[in-house]
Structure 1
Amino acid sequence: MVKYKIFRNSMIFLLMLVIPTTILFSYSHKVSKVVVRKTLEDSASKQLKFSMNQLEDDLRQVEMQSSTLLYDSSVKAFESSNDFSEYLDHLMDRKYLEEKLKIQRSVNSFLYDITIYLPNYDKVISTEDGKTFNKEFFKAAPFYKWFTSTENGEKKFHYLVSSPYQTKPNLLNSSIIIESTINSSYLKNVLSSVDASGIGTSFFYFSNSEIFTNAEIDPKIIKLLKNNINFNKNHSTTPSLSVLEMNNKQYLVQTLYSTSLEGTLVSFIELDEFLSPLENVSLLVNVSLFVFFITGGILTFILYRHFRLNIRHLIKKIELLGKGDYKSRVTIKANNEFDYLFGHFNNMAERIQTLIENVYEEQVRTREAEYKHLQSQINPHFLYNCLFYIISMARKSPDAVIAMADNLAKYYRYKTKKPGNQTSLLDEIKLSENYLKVQSLRNKRLHYSINIPEEMHKIIVPTLLLQPIIENAINHGFDQKIDSGKIQIKGHKSEQNYMIVIEDDGIGMSNEEINRLLKRINQKQLLDEVGCGLWNINQRLINQYGPSSGIHITRSSLGGLCIKIVIDNHENEVLQNGNITS
């Protein structure tokens, strides 16, 4: 009963999760479509109204400039001076008027041409090259309103004003005619601004059923619009919204009438294409919910059947391990992914057991190493030599005495306080510097350099890591070679490990001797006392940081030995995140 009850409750929980989610998504999808459509309508309406207002403002500005120019004193002065056309003043008036027309045209944000006609004198001043006086054009042209014409296949828009003003202007009775001309590129820019908003395709529809557009438009769509929208009566100054359908596709159409051009700005967009991403998302979510429901039921059954027993057994073993039974191991075979977990648990338990044994062994080795190094360093011979040096230099060089006493005190203080089996690399560097300073005061041919980046100073290393190696270089390398005395200590970091390199120019060793020494220090148990210091350091590095760490010995380019201390980067960072063992 318990099994079916758990499974049934899991299925009920799954249904309670999926059904409300499905209902909520369906409602949100419906609301999203309404909101997106409303946003589209508002955006299209605002863009259409903005473009139309800008168009009307530009045309009104041109009309006002044309009317103002008609009664400009410079135009009147030029007209009056035509009776004396051979005088210089007349030529100067013409030149001034031409410059003024260019300036007036450049004031606007768009390009248009201005032309002044003097019918009585058959003269023309224009910003457009090659402009002539065409009497036939003016006989049919309306005044004080915009009208269109086609010149060389290009549509142009004209606005004419005349002086004196007449209800029905007669060309023969007009003394001055001002013509403002806008070419088709201006309307194309207006349409481009509408299209650039991404809310559809736009075009102009004029009263003579003429279509002006920037791009090719499907004739079927034009026919659909003409059949369903009465452009001749739809002269509202606010955008008009319509939804038309053709071939199972809905089109959102907005129109706005231009009173100046007596044409309609039309913008349309296919709703299905605009809303298709929402439909794709809806389909994807529905499929995902269905798959989630099926997989959820299967997962509930599998978890119930295979999870509880395995977890219970694993928890029991973890509790035993926590109580100190490090020999505790998982013994059941699950024949599923738990085998991987059980295997890693067993490996972890084995590593913990091994680590505890290694730590105990390491502590024994460390204490032994500290004892041996203390015993070897605190000896009468080394101490007496330093004291005799202090006595001999007491009168000759007090500074040398102070330096010897200071470094000797720091050296023995560090060696005798037993700092534990781990410390920072910075402490080891300081100890090595104190030792080298003591030795360099006694041996003037000893020169050393330490170049270890600051970013390595904080890494955790075994105690007495560097000083025994330096001591070997001085005692066994320099004493048998008169012209030696150089020690270089360097450090660098890579992605895999830290490396500390100690080189000297002492007597060195042959390749065969190096190989024998490497073989001894890599033995698990040391059979003799030769190389015990290097063996101790090497074994502690391997135990603490893994088999990729340890000591490597080669011949140095200086002439002596090159000892490389390699510390695994990852394992050392784990130690840095914890506490240093004391």
Structure 2
Amino acid sequence: MFKWMTMKRFIYFFVLFLLLTLSLFYWLNAISSRTLEDNLIQSSMNQLDYADSILDSVVAESSQAGMQYTVDNRVRLYDHDKKVLDNYDVQMNKNDIHDRMMESVLFSQSIDSLNIYWKTDGDFITTGHDSNIEKLLMDATSQGWQVIDGGLYYFSVSSIMKPSFKPSDIQYVVGIKLKTQALTDLLNKAVNSKSSNAFYLIGENLLTNGTTVEASIVEEVKRTVEANNQTIMKFDYHSKNGDYYILSKYSPEIDTYMVTYTRVSDFLVPLNRTRQVFFTGIAIIFLIGLVVIFTFYRNFYRSVYLLDKKFSQVEQGNYGTRIREGVNKEFDRLFRSFNHMVTQIQSLFSSLKLETELRKTAEFKQLQAQINPHFLYNSLFFIMSAARTSPDSVEQMSKHLAEYYRYNTKLDSREVTFGSELELAKHYLIIMSLCKELEYDIQLPETFETLPIIPLIIQPMVENAIQHGIEGRQGAHQVAIEVRQREEEVQIVIRDDGKGMNSEEIERLLRRIESEHAPAESRGIGLWNVNQRLKNEYGKASGLRFSPNDWGGLTVTAHIQLTQSEV
């Protein structure tokens, strides 16, 4: 009776578990649907905003080109030159204006044609083949964007300065026509799937990328959109073809709406199918589960307990544990898989440890191989030139050069100390100070003298400060090295008074050293190597940071995260 009651309670628990699973799945499915829709909408908004920003840049570029030729001296004085110059010079000026206009069109991906029309005598220069553009320029009386026959034109007018402006005061008109292909290409950037489409609403006209646009959606857009150039307007639309969300962005400069719409129901079909499959699977599992409970009830918990115990041993690092096969025939295959998995994990950890050691050794050997031969050549030439005039300098140079290369060539891949690394940097700075005017300052607290660090971290940063900082600025001669602790990290700060970097150059340098792949060119590979080694050895929070300093140069800071035992 006791066993039957235990079995019955277990069945009740199994049924309750299935009901909870169904409820949880239904809730997760609803959340997944909402999350998927929100992500789709956000993705569409981002792409629409991106396409609109490109459109704004295209419009700004075209407007700027129009204004540029409106105030251009050759264009502005063209009428006057025709009166004072002979026909040949006039034609040469006209050809020069045309060539410059063609150059502007060729270098622009969005301008279809650039045109100038002088209303005073009907003279006309064009880079295109549109037969109607001349008439459009003749009729132009104001400055700005116009939509004509589904095309976008920008007109810039120049008039004789008078207290009150009249159309008759216009001397000439500069007209720019945008490429229709450039506009339709932006529509492809505004869609994110095969279930999405996009179009421009220009007044009552549509401009599409060649795909068919649903007429009902166009009517809904015309009825709903508002001229708001600050935000993206979003509204839902339901039809017999499915559920849609529609996004629109208004461009006030060209009085045009960029519209995208996406059929959400297409993305929810897999979720609905998954839900159906899940409910069917739950029903099958329930029936099979009842059979399994009655068949394997006696042995199930014992085998699970054994497996859990072995997993705990593996979690604690005992990769030599195994389950003796034959304990439970129903679980033999699972036990064999467990034994195989633990064996593979044990082998993997051994291989990983070996590969890690080999990688560190290879990285270190690569750093040693990067010793700059020009540094050695320059040092030897200095010794030759100073051999007769300054024996003391030769002695110092030889001593420090020997110490410098002895340190580099006898290093292995094991950790060294801050003291020995800064001693290497000091040798290098003394050598450089003998060759050129150079002042240096090294500050290392005594507590950091014996603190371990991976080798050849400080030296590449010092070389970078001199080669790319001090040597790039006339009169620069100062280098300062400071080791300090900030909370749970050690900072190695190297400052110079060299040419420095602005914020854009610093941002480009950060992107280069944070890349997963080394720079293709030799410039910057030393800092990339240092940054990657710091992250690999001390964690992702470690690495290099750059900032301007009070000297006008650059400050390079190496952040080294310490473990709790090292702090």
Q: TM-score, normalised by structure 1?
A: 0.47
Question: Structure with the greater relative contact order (CA < 8 A, sep ≥ 6): 1 or 2?
Answer: 1
Q: TM-score, normalised by structure 2?
A: 0.48
